[in-house]
């Protein structure tokens, strides 16, 4: 008899279990939609070619995720996980291309690029970068949200403050998307871990890459914008 390809975390939990509860889908959905709005609302000058294709694909993939696993994220499915990773990869590709075009415009001193355009593009890309990396952390820590909800034995990749002070955390606490969004935001602003520490190599390298991208955007955009501001 073949094994099932999908299982629900709620199906595996016994009555009265004190383990973590599956997190709701809407925080992750809101973050993806915010990134899409930032892509669409970015100043027209300096957009990557066929930029509209990225938000279209992101909306389609997000809709597929919501239809397949609405409400709480408790469906342990290889197909759903691949769908989520594909969505994040497309968002990351759009962000990387945006950074490349932005850096090229700054270093090449492209004419007509005003301080307003630079700050608008740079701010949108920086915020999108925060969201994209928060999704990477959220999806790969302990195998993803469905695995965490099921109490998977996969070791954690991050040590949150609640892990160090369990007596102060709610019963059955487990990291959810807002925790990873906060982790990503603080890493982008401080360029280093703050209260949450990476435990595995992939987490350390990913946080390092995020810090580098954030630093490049901040230095180049601010330096160039200040240079083109009227005296």
Q: To which H or E segment does residue 159 belong?
A: strand 158-159
29 domain residue, yes or no: yes
Is 108 domain-assigned? yes
Mean pLDDT, the chain, as a whole number? 86
Residue 11 inside a domain? The answer is: no
C-alpha neighbours within 13 Å on the C-beta side of residue 132: 28
Torsion region of 112: left, alpha or beta (phi above 0 gives left; psi -120 to 50 gives alpha): left
Q: What confidence score (pLDDT) does residue 6 get?
A: 60
Q: What pLDDT, on a 0 to 100 scale, did the predictor assign at position 167?
A: 87
16 falls within a domain = no
Question: Taking residues 205-215, what's their average pLDDT?
Answer: 94
Predicted TM-score (pTM) of this structure: 0.88
CA distance 100 to 165: 42
Does residue 98 belong to any structural domain of this protein?
A: yes
Based on the structure, what is the number of domains in the chain?
Answer: 1
Q: Give the containing element (helix H, strand E) for 100.
A: helix 78-107
The pLDDT tens digits for 138-153 are 999 999 999 999 988 9
Q: Assess if residue 8 is contained within a domain.
A: no
Confidence of residue 8 (pLDDT cuts 50, 70, 90): low
Domain that holds residue 221: 23-228
134 within domain boundaries:
yes
Question: Does some domain include residue 184?
Answer: yes
**Segment 101-136, tens digit of pLDDT:** 888 888 877 776 777 778 888 889 999 999 999 999
Tell me how far apart the alpha carbons of residues 191 and 56 are, in angstroms, rounded to a whole number: 32
């Amino acid at each position: 008899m073949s094994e099932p390809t999908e299982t629900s975390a709620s199906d595996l939990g016994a009555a009265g279990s004190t383990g973590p509860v599956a997190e709701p889908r809407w925080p992750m959905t809101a973050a993806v939609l915010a990134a899409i709005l930032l892509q669409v609302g970015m100043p027209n000058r300096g957009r990557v070619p066929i930029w509209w294709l990225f938000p279209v694909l992101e909306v389609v993939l997000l809709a597929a995720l919501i239809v397949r696993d609405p409400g709480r994220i408790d469906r342990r499915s290889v197909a759903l996980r691949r769908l989520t990773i594909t969505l994040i990869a497309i968002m990351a590709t759009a962000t990387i291309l945006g950074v490349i075009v932005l850096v090229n415009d700054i270093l090449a001193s492209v004419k007509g690029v005003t301080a307003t355009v630079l700050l608008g593009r740079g701010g949108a890309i920086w915020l999108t970068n925060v969201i994209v990396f928060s999704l990477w952390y959220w999806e790969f820590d302990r195998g993803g949200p469905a695995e965490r909800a099921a109490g998977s034995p996969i070791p954690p990749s991050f040590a949150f403050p609640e892990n160090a002070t369990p007596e102060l955390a709610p019963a059955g606490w487990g990291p959810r998307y807002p925790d990873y969004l906060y982790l990503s935001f603080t890493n982008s602003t401080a360029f280093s871990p703050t209260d949450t520490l990476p435990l595995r190599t992939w987490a350390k390298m990913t946080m390092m890459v995020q810090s580098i991208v954030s630093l490049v955007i901040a230095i180049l955009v601010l330096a160039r914008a200040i240079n083109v501001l009227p005296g």
